[in-house]
Amino acid sequence: MSPRIVLIHAIEMAINPIMRAFEVHWPEVETINILDDSLSRDRAKSDDLDCKMMDRFLKLGDYALSIDADGILFTCSAFGPAIEAVEKQHEIPVLKPNEAMFSMALQKGKNIGMLVTFENSIKVMSREFDEMAKTRNSAATLNVTLVKDAISYLKQGLVEEHNRLIADTAKELKDCDVLMLAQFSMANAWSAVSEQLDIPILTAPDAAAKLMKQKILE
């Protein structure tokens, strides 16, 4: 029987990128999608994660375990502390959306760029990156740039406009050693960004799928 990975999403646009990543890197696995788009709406209203939001994530983790999950991957990048609480509660692998990508980036250089389309994720992701860099005794620095309006284009179904805006903004980070596309929903812009820059471009879905496979099969 194939392992069952439960994917928990806060926006619908994250689903297709991670599904494609698993199809490429681990096609044999069974993936289950859980979408609660009220999470992203409520997160956008607050700079902090309150107790109520933390409890919602714990319940999502419990539900994933109740349907026999072998691993849980959250694709929402603005909820790091809540995901960490779920990880502490369960013995199965529980991954934050960007930890695999951060790890790969730290292996490729010290001047690391990151493009973000969801502003509320910047504080959480920057903290997570700094903590990982410190743990690895790395002197890496993170240069974060917000791609304003990109996510609005995506919500309207204007994918090409979304990708073009990300690619145009990426030029500002051309001197970095590596560039990360922070949100799962940004993975579609990889080709457009790669045409603009001659540095490694990392996406969260591909890195996360590889790491989950490694953790389950090791």
Q: How confident is the model at residue 44 (pLDDT cuts 50, 70, 90)?
A: confident
**What is the DSSP code string of 120-189?**
THHHHHHHHHHHHHHHTT---EEEEEE-TTHHHHHHTT-HHHHHHHHHHHHGGGTTSSEEEE-SGGGGGG
Higher pLDDT, 7 or 80: 7
Assess whether 211 and 198 both reside in one domain. no
Assess whether 90 and 8 both reside in one domain. yes
pLDDT at 197 over 80: yes
Determine the structural domain holding residue 155 and report its residue range. 99-203
- In this prediction, residue 87 carries a pLDDT of 96
128-138 mean pLDDT: 94
Assess whether 87 and 113 both reside in one domain. no
Q: How confident is the model at residue 1 (pLDDT cuts 50, 70, 90)?
A: confident
Tens digit of each residue's pLDDT (9 = 90 or more) over 153-169: 998 999 999 999 999 99
Please, what is the Cα angle at 122 between 42 and 116, to 5 degrees?
A: 100
Assess whether 176 and 107 both reside in one domain. yes
Assess whether 87 and 152 both reside in one domain. no
% helix, strand, coil for the chain, step of 5: 55, 15, 30
Assess whether 141 and 157 both reside in one domain. yes
Q: How confident is the model at residue 217 (pLDDT cuts 50, 70, 90)?
A: very high
pLDDT at 189 over 90: yes
Percentage of the chain with pLDDT > 70?
100
115-138 mean pLDDT: 92
Assess whether 68 and 121 both reside in one domain. no
CATH number at 68 reads 3.40.50.1860
Assess whether 130 and 186 both reside in one domain. yes
Q: How confident is the model at residue 218 (pLDDT cuts 50, 70, 90)?
A: confident
pLDDT at 47 over 80: no
Assess whether 13 and 75 both reside in one domain. yes
Assess whether 114 and 51 both reside in one domain. no
Assess whether 105 and 194 both reside in one domain. yes
Assess whether 92 and 24 both reside in one domain. yes
pLDDT at 45 over 90: no
Quote the distance between the C-alpha of residue 48 and its chain's center: 18
Question: Whole-model pTM above 0.85?
Answer: yes
- The domain total for the chain is 2
66-90 mean pLDDT: 94
Q: How confident is the model at residue 91 (pLDDT cuts 50, 70, 90)?
A: very high
